[in-house]
Amino acid sequence: MLYIKDVLLQLLFALTPFVLYNIYYRDKTANYSKRFINFTCMICLFMSMTFHSSVQNGIIFDIRYVIMFFGMVYGGMTTGLLLLVEFVLYRVLIGGQGLFSAMIILVITFNLSILLAILYRRRSEYRNLITFLAGLSFSFIPICVMLVTERKYIVENLTFNILVMPVQNSLGIWLLISLFNKAVSDKQLFQKYLQNEKVETIAHVAASLAHEVRNPLTAVMGFLKLIRNDSLSKEKTHYYIDICVEEMKRTEVILSEYLSIAKPSIPIYEQMDLVPQLNSVIDVITPYANMNNVALEVHNEGHELYISANPNEIKQLLINFIKNAIEACSYISRGKVIIRMAPESQLYAKITIHDNGVGMSSEQLERLGTIYFSTKSKGTGVGLTFSYQLIRSMNGAVNVRSTLGKGTEFIISLPLTN
């Protein structure tokens, strides 16, 4: 039973680098450093030699060879030399009958560790075999040397040397190398995941930016085409120019918001009436509807519908839904989008956007509002994702009914303010 306790204690020391690695680098994006390997190996070597296994005073056994091999594999020759100096100084300080034998064993195992560590790093396909050979060698080299230098000790403590030593070194080196290598591999996968996530985030931002900027530019393009018409009155032309200027200002605001992503600010909410916002959006989106041969029909019962929101976000939300409805009707004859706005139970503002376009299947309805899902061949799904998230953040709700070939109806409910 005493032997088992000693072996378990030494195995605990052998796993110290693995445990400390998982504690220290758990929340860090960086992987291990040579300084970390040096520090943990020196601590581990000191602890294992301090609480060593022994059945005869002066002759001690620990997992020094395991730690030395591990240090050379992950820290290189510098780590090996530091451990060598530490072991020699501490072993001389401990002294005892086995000091001479320990130095002979150290010379053999140190040079063998250098060779095996080089092979381990260069021949990745044979790493399991090299680890096995290292454990086997570090188990039997001490016994062979002790048979020559301390034969009486070996004979008198045959059970300890044949059973305890091989288990302690072989199992220790296999556990430490295998577990630490697995932890390092997992960390590398995590780093790769973070890198891919950064690229994916940039792609999302780029797609979102393109989507947000495209809306005002489309409106400006429509109005500029109308301005080329010589039959327009001067007042009408000036009115269209004012709308173009307003949309370009909105584009500038959108770009400024994306440039400030690195330092996000708290959204500014204010009490606003939805009706003027809808009318402004209709003025902007009408040329786009005309370009797609889609009729817009607006019904407003004349109520004032005050909500707490960011005007720019609400405008973008309405544009996203109405623009999608227009595009759903662009491939059919007599396409029409009907927009209704009215109070609902005095608690919510109800916005209904109905189109007679292509409609959606039940599978498409389930995925609606998911990033990168779009029913359009060139769509990104960013617009509706933004809109859904904005509605939820305002404690609102959105419901959709759709039938393939017959059209779609979105019902948006936003809480009213007193």
Residue 304 has a pLDDT of 82
Domain 2-195 shares a fold with domain 271-415: no
Record the tokens describing residue 302, joined without a space. Answer: 């004349």
Which band of pLDDT confidence, cut at 50, 70 and 90, is reported for residue 211?
A: low
pLDDT tens track for 118-168 = 999 888 888 899 999 998 898 889 888 888 888 888 888 877 777 777 888
DSSP track, 315-350 = HHHHHHHHHHHHHHHTTSTTEEEEEEEEEETTTEEE
pLDDT tens track for 6-34 = 788 888 888 888 888 888 877 666 778 88
Residue 367 has a pLDDT of 67
Domain 271-415: CATH class, spelled out = alpha beta
- Tokens 């309405």 belong to 318
| Residue of higher predicted confidence among 398 and 387 | 398
pLDDT tens track for 267-289 = 677 888 888 888 888 887 887 88
Q: How many CB atoms lie within 10 A of CB 210?
A: 11
- Confirm whether pTM is higher than 0.75: no
Nearest residue to 53 (alpha-carbon basis) of 211, 169, 174, 141: 169
At 297 the three-state DSSP class reads strand
- Tokens 């009155």 belong to 233
CA–CA separation, 205 vs 209, rounded Å?
A: 6
Nearest residue to 385 (alpha-carbon basis) of 309, 301, 324, 302: 324
Handedness of CA 241, 247, 253, 259 (dihedral sign): negative
CA–CA separation, 75 vs 32, rounded Å?
A: 10
Q: Mean pLDDT, to the nearest integer, of 382-394?
A: 78
Percent of the chain with pLDDT over 70: 85
Which band of pLDDT confidence, cut at 50, 70 and 90, is reported for residue 242?
A: confident
What are the boundaries of each domain within the chain? 2-195, 271-415
Round the average pLDDT of the chain to a whole number and report it: 82
Residue 344 has a pLDDT of 84
pLDDT score of 266 more than 80: no
Residue 244 has a pLDDT of 86
Which band of pLDDT confidence, cut at 50, 70 and 90, is reported for residue 203?
A: low
Residue 38's contacts (CB-CB under 8 Å, 6 or more residues apart) are: 71, 75, 78, 79, 82
The conformation of residue 25, written as its DSSP 8-state character, comes to: S
53-56 vs 59-61, strand pairing mode: antiparallel
148 CA to centre of own chain: 58
Q: Mean pLDDT, to the nearest integer, of 94-122?
A: 90
CA–CA separation, 275 vs 278, rounded Å?
A: 5
Record the tokens describing residue 127, joined without a space. Answer: 């790493």
Measured CA angle at 210 (ends 196, 358), to 5 deg = 105
Q: How many CB atoms lie within 10 A of CB 205?
A: 13
20 CA to centre of own chain: 23
Residue 160 has a pLDDT of 78
The beta strand positions in 96-172, using DSSP E, are: none
The full length of the chain comes to: 418
Record the tokens describing residue 150, joined without a space. Answer: 């301390």
Q: Mean pLDDT, to the nearest integer, of 68-92?
A: 92
pLDDT tens track for 362-382 = 777 776 755 444 455 444 445
Residue 378 has a pLDDT of 45
Q: Mean pLDDT, to the nearest integer, of 347-373?
A: 78
Which band of pLDDT confidence, cut at 50, 70 and 90, is reported for residue 88?
A: very high
Question: Topology of 2-195 in CATH?
Answer: Arp2/3 complex 21 kDa subunit ARPC3 (1.10.1760)
| Residue of higher predicted confidence among 253 and 98 | 98
Q: Mean pLDDT, to the nearest integer, of 228-241?
A: 80
Which band of pLDDT confidence, cut at 50, 70 and 90, is reported for residue 200?
A: low
- Tokens 């450093």 belong to 33
pLDDT score of 224 more than 90: no
